[in-house]
Amino acid sequence: MRLHSTSVVMILPAMPGTGTAGPRTPVNAETVRSRIFSLSEQEESDPVYAIVRAGGRQEKVSVDDVLNIDRVSQETGATITWQPILVVEDGNVVSDADKLSGYTVTAEVLGETKGPKINIMKYKNKTGYKKRQGHRQKHTQVRVTGIAAK
pLDDT tens digits, one per residue of 5-29: 554 444 545 555 555 554 555 566 6
pTM confidence score: 0.63
Residue 69 and residue 94 share a domain: yes
Residue 108 and residue 53 share a domain: yes
Instruction: Say if CB 61 and CB 49 are below 8 A apart.
Output: yes
Residue 55 and residue 39 share a domain: no
- Residue 43 — very low, low, confident or very high, per pLDDT cuts 50/70/90? very low
Coil, helix or strand at residue 34:
helix
Is 129 a member of any domain?
Answer: no
Mean pLDDT of 49-61: 92
Give the rounded percent of residues in the chain with a pLDDT score beyond 70: 69
Please tell me the least confidently modeled range out of 8-12, 44-48, 70-74. 8-12
The backbone torsions φ and ψ at residue 75, rounded to the nearest 5 degrees and listed phi first, read -75, 160
Domain that holds residue 108: 49-112+142-149
Is 73 a member of any domain?
Answer: yes
Is 2 a member of any domain?
Answer: no
More confident residue, 6 or 115: 115
Instruction: Please state the domain count of the chain.
Output: 2
Residue 98 and residue 59 share a domain: yes
* Pairwise CA distance, residues 136 & 126, whole Å: 30
